[in-house]
Each structure stands twice: as C-alpha cells, then as structure tokens.
Amino acid sequence: MRKVLIDLRMVRGRMHGIARYALELARRLPVLAPDLRFVGLTGPSGLPLGLGPLRPVLPLERCPAEFLSPLEQPALAFALARSGADLFHATSFSLPGLWPGRLVATLHDANHLALRDNYGPGRVAYYRLVVGPRARTARALITLTEFSRDELARHLGLNPYRLQVIAQGVGEGFARVSESAVADFNRRRGLPQRYLAAVGTEKAHKNLAVLAKVSGSLPAPIALLAGPGAVRRLGFSPETVDLGELPEEELACFYSGATALLLPSRYEGFGLPALEAMACGCPVVAAQAGALPEVVREAGLLVPPDDAEGWRDAALRLLRDEALRRTLAERGLTRASLYTWDDTARRTLAVYRRALG
C-alpha cells in the first residue's frame, strides 16, 4: 500500500487558513482512498490540543525541527527519508528543498513576494532559494484561485499551467443559526442588536485602518475580530466592540448576527472569511482587490480598498436597505454552497493519483 504523507507542521497556536486547509484534507482523504495509507507529519510536539472536530484520525509522525526553524530543511529531509513516503503533500509554502522524492505542493498565494516589505529579506530569500527551485521539480502544484495562480507564476517564474486551481471549502459549522442563539451570543459578548463585522489582523495589507477612519460616523458599531487591543492600536472609534478573538464554535453566531461583513484587505490569495460569512447568511462587502472579487463575485458589494467614503456608503446602504440585505444574503448562501471541503479533497486526491503514476 502506497504511503502519502500530509504536512501538518504548521498546525500550531492560533488557527489560521493554511492550518485549516491541511486538517480538512487530513480528515477526509483516508475515507476517500482506503487503498492509500495516509500519515500526518507534525512538528516535534505533535498536534495541539483543542482542535475538536478538526483533529484528524490518522497516524502521525514527527519532524525533529519546528516549521520554518533554522534546522527545518535538514530535519524535514531526515523525516521524509525515514518515513519512506511514496508522496509528500507540502500543504503550505514550506517545501523540502533537500528531499528529491515525489512532491505535491500547495502554494496558497504569493503574499511573501508581492508584499515583501511585510516580511523582510529572509522570507523572500526562502522563496527564491527553496520554494521556487523545488516547485519547478514537484510532480504537481496546487493553488486556490486564478489570481494566486497568476501571481505565483509571475513572482516565481513558473508556467501558470503548472498550477492547478483547487479552491478551499467552507466548514460544516458555518451556517445560519437561530435568532435565540444569536441573541444569547450578543448578550455574552456585549454586542448590540445591530453591528457590522470586521475580521483580519493588524498587518498593513489587511487594511483595517480604512474602516477605523469611518467607524465613528456609522449608526451601528463595528465589531472587530483582529486580536486583543487592535481597536485601540488601529485607531477605531470608542463605539467599536473589541472582540479580540473568538473560538471556532462562536463564529457562526458572530456572522449570523451581523448586518454585514466588511473585508477591506488589499491582498488575499483566497478570502475564506467572505465565504464563511456568506454561508451564515451574512451580506459581504469586500475589497475590489486580490482574489476577493473572484471569490465573492455578484454575491456581495465590491469597494476599492482605500476608498474610505466608499466603505462608509456601502455600510450605510446595508444598514438602511433591508431588501438589499436579503438579496445579498440569498446570493451569498448560493455562492458559499459551491465551495465544499469534500470537493477540495476529491480533486486533491485526483492530483495525488496522477503524481503517483
């Protein structure tokens, strides 16, 4: 039985999109392909606690060095040679530069190259010396959107047709919740009946500062999910609700109760929060930048990322126009239904089979 090793080394600390991608595949692929032996590769400490339903049920092997640590490359080569894997799926931008075996690599975006000022010369050098050369010898390359395919091809000098586009899915936990569940969530989290959701980080390309400029002029507060203290550091108005972080199981209530999600990022390789909000019946206002127009399409409103008045006007439209909210909510539900993790896993399995020959 041929052995497929799935990279789970980046699953650590706060949950993020790449970790979710790897875990969702690791949960589904063993069921879809009982003729293959699937194993997960973790860091030295294994998988963290608290993954809940995202924890995959498959054997695990450990890499002796941490993800992106100074000793990562020799340690990764050692772990892969020791494993005897017939195929390694590198589920993030960390590719095994010293291991010559069959490789499938998912490159989510070209963020580190397109926004190099955010990351410094070390990360750019890693892409130039490890990611680019190893990607050229991989059996197959996967990315999430047409936008990312073009960006990766341009920045890494790849033929764009080497990259197959396989989108992420929306988790089963993202769905409309009852009014009573929303009311209970709002009470526990100190939220009013009407609020505008905003998610992201304090990184410049997430562009939350454009929402801070208009936050004091809106008739409903923004509820910000960007880490503790982000409201103050980004200059949001005092009315803004600083949620810091929320556990995974509360996100559906957060989106279901919001009048709209505001997503002003200047650069996204995919934009999973937009789809997760749509799956909960939350209208979406997204930046007309990166992969967001490709993901959202006609199911949401698109605004130039740095047009502060445009963001204010879009938020006011949704606060005042119930018919528009209903229309966008229904379009969003339809749009989100097209993205499932089962479909992601099935299409990824087809890539494995071709790579295994």
**pLDDT tens over the chain, length 357 residues:** 999 999 999 999 878 889 999 999 999 999 999 999 999 999 999 999 989 889 999 999 999 999 989 999 999 999 999 999 999 999 999 999 999 999 999 999 999 899 988 787 888 889 989 999 999 999 999 999 999 999 999 999 999 999 999 999 999 999 999 999 999 999 999 999 999 999 999 999 999 999 999 999 999 999 999 999 999 999 999 999 999 999 889 999 999 999 999 999 999 999 999 999 999 999 999 999 999 999 999 999 999 999 999 999 999 999 999 999 999 999 999 999 999 999 999 999 999 999 999
Residue 228 burial (10 A CB sphere; 0-12, 13-18, 19+): exposed
8 Å CB contact between 199 and 260:
no
Rounded CA gap, 38 and 139, in Å? 18
User: What is the CA 284 to chain-centroid distance, rounded?
Assistant: 16
pLDDT at 15: 82
Closest by Cα among 16, 199, 207 to 118: 207
Q: Which CATH number fits domain 179-336: 3.30.413.10, 3.30.460.80, 3.40.50.300, 3.40.50.2000?
A: 3.40.50.2000
Q: Which CATH architecture has domain 3-169+340-356?
A: 3-Layer(aba) Sandwich (3.40)
Dihedral sign of CA atoms 238, 240, 244, 249 in order? positive
Beta-carbon contacts of residue 108 (< 8 Å; ≥ 6 apart) = 17, 18, 21, 92, 93, 143, 144, 148, 269, 270
Q: Do 3-169+340-356 and 179-336 fold alike per CATH?
A: yes
Q: What is the model's pLDDT at position 120?
A: 77
User: pTM of the entire structure?
Assistant: 0.93
Q: Structural domain boundaries of the chain? A: 3-169+340-356, 179-336
pLDDT of residue 123: 84
pLDDT at 117: 81
The DSSP element (H or E) to which 292 belongs, if any, is helix 292-296
